[in-house]
Amino acid sequence: MENYQELTLKQKSFFRSGQTKDVAFRIDALTKLKELMSSHEQDMIAALKADLNKPETETKRAEIGLVLGEINFMIENLSAWSTPNEVETPSTHSGATSFIVPEPYGSALVIAPWNYPVQLAVAPLAGAIAAGNCAVLKPSELTPHTSNLLAKMINENFPEEYLRVVEGEVETSTALLKEKFDYIFFTGSTGVGKIVAGAAAKNLTPVTLELGGKSPAIVHEDADLDEAAVRIARGKFANAGQTCVAPDYLLVHRKVKDQLIGKMKEVITNTYGENVSENLDFPHVVSERHFDRLNEFLRNGEVVAGGHSDKSRLFIEPTILDHISWEDPVMQDEIFGPILPVLVYDEIAEAIDAVVERPKPLALYLFSDNEQVQDDVLNTISFGGGAINDTINHMTSHYLPFGGVGNSGMGAYHGKASFDTFSHFKSILKRSNK
């Protein structure tokens, strides 16, 4: 069994030296990380092509661009965020002052998944650095080219007592989780999230869990169907549906269902071509296990768009399934692939009830300009975050903390929320003896 005690002890000792608490040190580290991302752009494009057949434009936008934007935002704001914040003092404590000091936890463990293997590893790592922590990053074994590249980039340019990438499978994760880290940041499935939370509980280590779930796209009868079709199709089929915030299923008003499906079929053709299997840029499914799981869903309901698959290339065509019920296998768990089941409703209350009865989703998308409907949905359904008349773009704003709730996770990051997540806020009352 692997043992990471020596590594964690080295990191704790380096942390105690106080170097990572210096804001200039953190800015230097973030700047170096940024430069590494830029100088390895071509390597990352090649690694993601090999691991997921991810097209260059997607890698540049969703993996590299997004992370560089996050790092730049952190560098710009770090001095302000890390300055102790003076707050009011109650009159019962006269003569005293009060302030809140953000301090790093110590050594943080970041465990990342495979679907955006650069973004979901490096964005939390940047948060850990910004807040002044040391960190160990465990990328996913399912995207080995990318994990290997990340290890090379970090391990050859930072000392291990500060930052370390540890590659490996479940056993490696399990061994790392045995160590007493000061913070654990996990992105992955709800099932593994429970294992991570259990391991963290043994050491009372605080955790952020960025998990998944079934995120609905609700399309009401008044929706602009042209826009809805484009935004839902792009959000769903990007990265072949392997996006944590992708719309998992469509909940559409009965009156507009056929029209919406017709428009989505056009969008799929316009975006990916008449014959998607000939589109060499369409990402593939990450593994045979996931392919087999997804392929079974193609038998659910009625295929009204797509439906083809090719195991030899781990290819599944963007597919829309009509006449689906909540009991179908495709509706039992997060799909995480390019398959969109369609369910209908007649009253918005029905749609709301259906979502509320199930585990809280990571994201929810509502297509409607009706303010009453918007209020009803926002006020009654609990979900991580989402968008009105759009999909997935809420997670690309530095100003919107990103995270789940209930089964879709706990805690949040991005922008200042990343700094906050990796910081403990120490409250101090200072009294004078004069």
Q: How far apart are CA 63 and CA 121, in angstroms?
A: 10
- When binding is defined by CB under 6 A, the residue of 19, 77, 148, 189 that contacts ligand NAD is 189
Pick the piece of the chain touching ligand NAD (CB under 6 A) from 8-16, 138-146, 157-165, 372-380. 138-146
The encoded tokens of residue 434 equal 């004069």
Pick the piece of the chain touching ligand NAD (CB under 6 A) from 16-24, 185-193, 227-235, 423-431. 185-193
Q: Are 129 and 163 in contact (CB under 8 A)?
A: yes
295-354 residues near ligand NAD, rule: CB under 6 A: 334, 336
Give the interface size with ligand NAD as a residue count (CB under 6 A).
26
The encoded tokens of residue 14 equal 């380096």
Cβ closer to ligand NAD: 112 or 218? Answer: 112
Cβ closer to ligand NAD: 210 or 322? Answer: 210
Cβ closer to ligand NAD: 151 or 195? Answer: 195
Identify which of 64, 199, 203 has the alpha carbon closest to the alpha carbon of residue 122: 64
- When binding is defined by CB under 6 A, the residue of 8, 11, 173, 423 that contacts ligand NAD is 173
- When binding is defined by CB under 6 A, the residue of 153, 211, 232, 268 that contacts ligand NAD is 211
What amino acid positions are annotated as catalytic residues?
210, 244
- Phi then psi dihedrals of residue 95, to 5 deg: 90, -10
- When binding is defined by CB under 6 A, the residue of 409, 416, 418, 419 that contacts ligand NAD is 409
- When binding is defined by CB under 6 A, the residue of 23, 36, 50, 195 that contacts ligand NAD is 195
Query: Would you count residue 104 as binding ligand NAD (CB under 6 A)?
Result: no
C-alpha triplet 39, 42, 46: angle, nearest 5°: 140
Q: How far apart are CA 115 and CA 286, in angstroms?
A: 8
Query: CB 421 → ligand NAD: shortest distance, Å?
Result: 13
Cβ neighbours of residue 347 under 8 Å, at least 6 residues apart?
none
- Longest CA–CA span in the chain (Å) reads 81
Query: CB 240 → ligand NAD: shortest distance, Å?
Result: 13
The encoded tokens of residue 283 equal 């990402």
HSE-CB for 338 with a 13 A CA cutoff: 27
Terminus-to-terminus CA distance in the chain, angstroms? 59
Binding site for ligand NAD (CB under 6 A): 111-115, 120, 138, 140-141, 170, 173-174, 187-189, 192, 195, 210-212, 244, 334, 336, 362, 404, 409
